Chains A and B, each alone.
Chain A
Amino acid sequence: MSANLDPFTAEVIKNSLVAIGEEMFVAMARTSMSPIIYEVLDYATGLTTAKAEILTQGNGVAGFIGVLTFSVKSVIDKFGLEGLKPGDIIMTNDPYGGGGTHTSDVCMVMPIFYKGEIIAFSANKAHWTEVGGMSPGSWTTDSTEIFQEGLQFPCIKAFENDKPLQQLIDLIRVNVRTPDMSIGDFYAQAASVRLAGKRMVELCDKYGAEAVKTAMAMLLDDGEVRAKQALASLPKGTFTAEDTVDDDGISDDPIPVKVKVTITDDEFIVDFSDMPPQVAGPINSSITGTNSALRCLWLAISNPKLQVNEGFFKPLRLIVPEGTIISAQRPAPTSTYWETLLYSLDLIWKALAPVVPHRLSAGHYNTVGAAITTTFHPDGDHFTIMVEPNMGGWGAQVDQDGESGLFCSMNGETFNLPVEITEHAHGLMVDEYCFNPDAGGEGKFRGGRGVIRAYKILHDNGGTVTITLGRHKFPAWGVDGGHKGGANRVEIKKADGSVAGPYGKTARKPLQKGDVLRIICGAGGGWGDPKDRSKEKVLADVKAGMMSKEVAKEIYGVDV
């Protein structure tokens, strides 16, 4: 600790740094024009040191934890500190470098100068509704190269001398389907990184740059101390897990995936050496995403409620060769990368659940359930497009049943679309919206239930659906004798009574008037032998309609 910084001032400055991070986060939601930002909170904001160490980060979704480090690093690597000037803002969405996860996630990085020196960086990464490409919304299940996935911003200056580069904006405007939203987000992101810059300067004016730097170092030290404490409380050893990804959306071949996790006194090592090579379809994930998965799980098993910074990630070591399905190289498509990022997260989870049961449940439905449904509004005949994630069942826990009807582990402060608003805005009728009581996830403690959400197409001109549901073929894993969960699937009840599907992934599938699109997510995995479940609980589930009498009898041995 610096001799001239008393511990209380240090604490006030540390709190101020965290508050700046929060203010940036709120400002972004407040200034964005895109529902995916202000409703789904699909973005992250934060501050790093001049060495790209995360000081504070606000996330709306878990999958973005720690990603800003890599964005800032890529900026420093390209320009060097000496190549950056006051008033610069750099923009990147390069999935393979530090910039992005898929092209839709656009990151802005600003060097914060105080008296001629870079004292910090502020960064903001947000999901743009549109960056162009072959499919509306810029993601699809059938792209085979990144060139189909919209504009790429390869770590370039977007602002110089506090002024946006007009030619860049003109370029974006003609290349995306919703230019007002995308350019609106461009400005909203710039506003949030600048707000942080302004606050940092105020902080330095008040306490002096040296005091602020000392407080930053203390904040990172706090994180490191906490990380060591967390590591000490974890079981040591090597733990492995295997699983299978359904397919890449192009062929039907299942894709085997593996992890080896080693916890020592000093390190938390995740080894993905046995991951398969990148694939033809857009499920490839980048090294940035894999790092997020690792950080997310580390936080989950150590102290999920912590305000984190780079110091807390010091013990982490990631081993992954280049060019795998989770470290894809150019020009692999990555537009639905999240389905595979979820697997890297889920594999570490699966390896550790039996040994860290107080922090981890059994496997959950493990998909964002992202769907794009288009149709026409019966009132006014205008085209409507609905982009939404879907809810499913979470795994049972060592001491209680799993949670029903939640978004997946990569999401977070993600909200469902109310039925009343959906029907008004999109011209569909919600036919059904309830828990899915199908078999799956039985155990001493059972998995939570997935959700069925069904839409009836009302317009004469019909519509289309693009959807990607992971764990369609290989449901959520159980622990300690608990059964597997239920499969995720989509089916179309045709107006003539026939049923198309079930599918796991489909792109731009046509829908006719009267068709009912049913998105069905499965239960999470069970924990413990179903025979050990108390009779009262089985009877209560049957009474509540959360379990059939047949399952009660056949799996739990309880006559109702």
Chain B
Amino acid sequence: MQGLNRRDFLKVGAVATTATAAACTYDYKVPQEHVLPYVVNPENVQPGLASYYATACHGCASACGVVARNKDGRVVGVEGNPDHPLAASLCARGHFDLYAAYSPDRVAGPTDGRTALSWADADKKVADAVAAARAAGKAVAWLGAYRSGTVDALLGELVAGGLRRVHWEPMGVDALLAAARQAYGVDELPVYELGGAHTIVTFGHDFLNTAFGAMAMARGWAQAKDPARGEFVARMVSFEARLGSSSSQADHWFAAAPGSEARVAFALARLCAEAKGYTGPAAALLGAVDVAGAAAAAGLDEARLKQVAGWLAAGPSVVLPGGPSTEGADATALAVATLLCNEVLGNVGHSVVFGRGARPGQVNSYADVKALVDDAAAGKVGVLILDGLDLVHLAPGDLAVADALGKCDLVVQLANEPNDSSGDKTLLLPVGSGFEHWSDARVEAGVAVLGQPAMIPLKDSRGLGDFVLGLVKSNPAPAPAAVEGAVPDAAPVVTTASLAAAAATFGDLVKARWAAVYKPADADLATWWVEVQAKGVFAVSLPVASVVWQAATLPEVGAGLAAGEKALVLFAGHLHDGRWANVPWAQELPDPISTYFWNTWVEVNPKTAESLGLAEKDLVKLTTDTGTVEVGWFGSPAVREGTFALVAGNGKQVGKYAKGRGANAMKLLASSTDASGSLATGGLKVVATRVSGNSGVHALCGNLDQDGRPIAVAVNVDDAVKNLHGEAASIVPLHHIPIDERVTAAGSVDMFPEPQHPTYRFALTIDNNACNGCGACQIACAMENNTPFVGPDQLQKGRTMVWIRMDRFFEGEGENPDIRYLPALCQQCSHAPCEGVCPVLATYHNLDGLNAMIYNRCVGTRYCANNCPYAARRFNYHTWQWPESYHLMLNPDLSTREMGVMEKCTFCVQRTRAAKDLYRDVAFGEREPGRPVNMSQNTVPDEALRKLTACAAACPTDAITFGNWNDEKSTVRAIGESPRAYTLLGELNTKPGVRYVARINHNAPANAGHHGGGHHEAPAGGHDAGGHGAPAGDHGTHPAAPAAEPAHGAEHKEG
């Protein structure tokens, strides 16, 4: 062969061989990726170590603090900011905020209809449209969700320049704010301090979930229910037609007829005043209140109302306002009435605090929205800027929003992804997520949250603040306005306008404005700003101004629905008003009450369902004057007969995950408002009929009640308080499988020896008394552990991958609802049924007490899952997908799992490993049998473990505690050995590492005085006894002492 020498032959041969080998080994399943080092390593970035940024949550107006965890350039996790004085943890929706930031629907940049355009063109388009509108004498309007902080101030500047500004949320605070104005003449919301209340009365306030400031109230509620704090357990009473997640924890439920809540609240105020002997400024108003009439209208017993008033008057208390399901045509009157209750009880200034300036920026009512939309329909609006509101989806059925938007010359939508309001001519400007751009929020006058960017924007977006700053710069205001919300020690010497003029970016403006408003005069700016950025919040306690009742008359209250008319009430589920509908994890998180998902459903009382002749798969057709929906139903004992409670949030037309899911509840609403202009979402007239078909709703919780089994156990309140200090070892009524005494005498209860846990025995306690099933632990777990969503079809088959299952049991009846939640997760048993049966040893017991799982070894026999009494294991039926760009938020600390392998809760093993590494765990390496464990050396201290797992860190009520059981001084041990603690199905001798703390029940009112002997009339005793024929109360009178019971006693000996 000419021309090919040996060297060339070898070269060609080598290349050809390599290419062939490469072609043959290419695995189509695994995309090729390149790992490249930084050319210049960014400062403070160590590969593999996370950076943490304190920022703000933009999930709702409450503005909680967030600590965002940035790993290798992407935020992969969020937790509450412990430095936030009001909200140290994040709710489920706070976690959705991060999922939303990675939504596959996010637009790449500014989009005009469907065509992309540059920011310069977009700016020009907006500027031209604004100029044209000005020239034509048309309005430039801003319609959006609540915004506080610097954006609120900038928008104030624009108002001076002619901007028409409306901030509204359909399940917002407008009625309560209007009531505060009427009652006390203050333009701020009351702050409810629940922590010390002995009696909590709610009229439907979603105070544990979606209400303004819910996280602070959740913490207070948990404190009020914790007998260890003040030797009392708050008694909770609910007056509403449908118990939701918040009110499901009520001890007493008075299902006031929808529409009658305001009258009941006024009646309660009068009864409270009588019980308390109130003589204050509102005393004269109470004479006109008709107690008997109110009780009759609500279908309640007047004597019971008196009893509730007695409880309220007897000690510290709080009366909470209404929520979406009770805010009907008398929403403001209801809010006034609840404030009046607090007034006569003397709660104002104690548990109901004014003067802290709590308000989520400007708040408008629905009436303002309607006026703006009507003007737009009349062609009077030139430019409409929609911020954070999917107006087309949210508008009531009789408000023709789409037409009105079409009449505007330009609709600018500030959103990251198209939604129902995005028309062909809408200019969609991506404002990015709160994790990408500067922001801030003001919670109260003395509390502000700094939202600093925690990662580089995923898409070509411009922060909301920068957009508004651009508007301000291009439309300078004629007259400067004072900086709002200044604290006394920082006198406002500068204005927002002057700061804005000087600021190049919104980030600069935030810094300058914070320096002007919040910085103490003597602090060095650079040092102070570093501190603020590190903490993420600014908080000072301000003196509380005292307020005086001002309303001279009581608001008119409507007659409510006529007898026999069916009532419709709306409530917010995990999707809130629909803002999370396009987050698949939000769709997938089962509703606490119905445990439904990915759908819209109506909750009806089983008796109502029976009268309608509803079969399991039937649909309910709900018709109002303005619309019709057909939805599946859930038979909930916690709904009043004749009331239809419909969940809001779904029924969207646009969105990869939102589209076609359920029906739009808002379309059943009419533009009917109450006196202050608040949209009525409760007490509406509805016609319901049965439609046969396949509704496609499915409950993840298998049974309505716990079938008499001691799963979520409750104890009597007096027992709980009396036995606080270990008078009895256990007061939990449990079932015990009888064991032959000869077996225990021979010591052969255990076939295998106790596993050794030389240093750590990781353990978890869950306080069921502080759990309202909110789902924060579930979603935090999913985020931390790379748990995929599986989609509606798979979830119908129960194939949830979330490692925590939220059991919900209706244990009570009628006025004693007793709804119990039980977060069920892997119990990390010492004698684990799963470990023995795995044929390939893919699951085994490790030295930390975990039932460790080796994914790569798993064949998928699923024997372990069958044998788990807690049904805590999850099987990968498919290789689940993380669509672009959700894969960017995968936690790199642990792997994803492929099809055919088992997985389950690991007690966040990646976090415990990291913590152990951090504390240089030499004891682990030098382990010898019999060597005493030195708890003081090198082990992770209790403070570092207590909130280590994702679920414990997320729990808004601190119900979950993690720790080392071997450490006798650990918190988890103290809680786990308290008289109310029990192991789930401990009688099986599985020796779990998780301990539950029994829920505390107040006795039914009829037995309120007879608790001397610990007599139980509570459903706990009755149900528990039902299983094996013992008389009710048997367990209560003879508290089971675990030490005396061989099978149970063994549980406490481990470690």
Physical interaction between A and B: no
